[in-house]
């Protein structure tokens, strides 16, 4: 099984530790993982900004980078969803379609494809889970509170395998944090207000660590947390599932 690591552009640039944790996590499960270096960005920032018609270059590049793998795994529900929904190329639609079907968000890959039953991870802390909306409602990583369906949550299922990790309950378990791509700057006031509500929920429930499936949501909330100088550490779910990581990182 050849697995390609799809690292969101901002994770590549600002959160390499998240990509490293993802890589280590997958390799420790015995998978053959490659990082196609030709990858740049899935084109989501442009598409969500209304300029999907400028993303053909990104799409073509993405297809060139990710063709030929059995699975493409991404530590971001948002980027995975974008590829799933919008990766097209009129010149090679069959290849594009194969990639769309093979893209997975990390947690769903672990629960649905690898079918992980246990992890050698340990992370004793009170943790709040923020479910990024695109993964949550877009990829259906978990049941959403609006729907009348049996409860399930793939990220939660994995976090429960981490020794010592205690998940705190939240008042609004699946409310959007307000990041929303360019929304976070074009609608700064609403975006920050939304993020602050989320953060208050973690504080109210005495979480010391905030985790989630999307580093973009976490980056926004981490920005608010650090400005307020709150005692909450922000970590991507891959970092918890791979914990403790070797020091060399």
Partner 1 sequence: MDQHPKAHAAAAAGFLADQQRADWHDETLWFVRSKRDKAAQQLPEWEALRTQASAIKEHTLSRLEQYLTGFEEKALANGVQVHWAADAAEHNRIVHSILAKHHVRKLVKSKSMLTEECHLNPYLQQQGIEVVDTDLGERIVQLNQEPPSHIVLPAIHLKKEQVGEIFHQHLGTAAGASDPQYLTAAAREHLRQKFLAADAAITGVNFAIAENGAFVVCTNEGNADLGAHLAKLHIACMGIEKLIPRMEHLGVFLRLLARSATGQPITTYSSHFREPGPGQELHIVIVDNGRSTQLGREDFRNSLKCIRCGACLNTCPVYRRSGGHSYHNAIAGPIGSILAPNLDMRKNADLPFASTLCGSCSDVCPVKIDIHTQLYKWRQVLSKEGYGPAAKKLGMKMMAAVLAKPDRFALSGAVARKFLGWFPKLAVNGKLNPWGRQRELPKVPEQSFREWYRTHYNPKKTNS
Q: Does 92 bind partner 1 (CB under 8 A)?
A: no
92: which DSSP letter? S
Q: Does 204 bind partner 1 (CB under 8 A)?
A: no
153: which DSSP letter? B
Q: Got the DSSP string for 115-152?
A: -------EEEEEEEEE--HIIIIIS-SB--TTS-S---
> Which has the closest alpha carbon to 198: 186, 141, 15, 180?
180
Give every strand in the sheet of 163-167, ordered side by side.
163-167, 122-130, 209-212, 233-236
Q: Does 124 bind partner 1 (CB under 8 A)?
A: no
* Binding residues for partner 1 restricted to 47-76, rule: CB under 8 A: 47-55, 57-58, 60-61, 65
Instruction: Out of 102, 128, 130, 178, name the contact with partner 1 by CB under 8 A.
Output: 178
- Location of structure tokens 């909330």: 221
Instruction: Out of 107, 108, 155, 180, name the contact with partner 1 by CB under 8 A.
Output: 180
Instruction: Out of 28, 97, 122, 145, name the contact with partner 1 by CB under 8 A.
Output: 145
Stretch near partner 1 under the rule CB under 8 A, chosen from 97-105, 106-114, 204-212, 214-222:
214-222
Q: Does 163 bind partner 1 (CB under 8 A)?
A: no
Decide whether 51 or 122 has the Cβ nearer to partner 1: 51
Instruction: Out of 129, 179, 201, 211, name the contact with partner 1 by CB under 8 A.
Output: 179
Decide whether 120 or 226 has the Cβ nearer to partner 1: 226
CA distances for 156 relative to 141, 150, 203, angstroms: 10, 15, 20
């Amino acid at each position: 099984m050849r697995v390609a690591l799809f690292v969101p552009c901002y994770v590549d640039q600002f959160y390499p530790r998240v990509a490293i944790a993802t890589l280590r996590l997958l390799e420790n499960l015995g998978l053959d993982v490659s990082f196609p270096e030709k990858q740049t960005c899935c084109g989501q920032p442009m598409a969500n900004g209304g300029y999907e018609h400028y993303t053909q270059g990104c799409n073509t590049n993405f297809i060139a980078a990710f063709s030929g793998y059995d699975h493409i795994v991404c530590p971001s529900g948002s980027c995975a969803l974008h590829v799933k929904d919008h990766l097209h190329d009129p010149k090679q639609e069959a290849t594009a379609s194969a990639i769309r079907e093979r893209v997975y968000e990390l947690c769903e890959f672990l629960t649905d494809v690898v079918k992980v039953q246990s992890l050698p991870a340990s992370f004793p802390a009170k943790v709040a889970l923020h479910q990024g909306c695109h993964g949550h409602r877009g990829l259906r990583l978990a049941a959403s509170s609006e729907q009348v369906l049996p409860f399930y949550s793939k990220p939660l299922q994995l976090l429960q395998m981490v020794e010592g990790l205690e998940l705190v309950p939240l008042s609004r378990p699946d409310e959007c944090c307000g990041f929303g791509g360019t929304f976070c700057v074009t609608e700064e006031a609403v975006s920050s207000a939304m993020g602050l509500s989320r953060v208050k929920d973690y504080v109210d429930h005495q979480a010391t660590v905030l985790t989630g499936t999307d580093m973009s949501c976490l980056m926004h909330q981490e920005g608010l947390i650090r400005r307020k100088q709150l005692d909450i550490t922000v970590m991507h779910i891959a970092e918890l599932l791979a914990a403790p990581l070797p020091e060399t990182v």
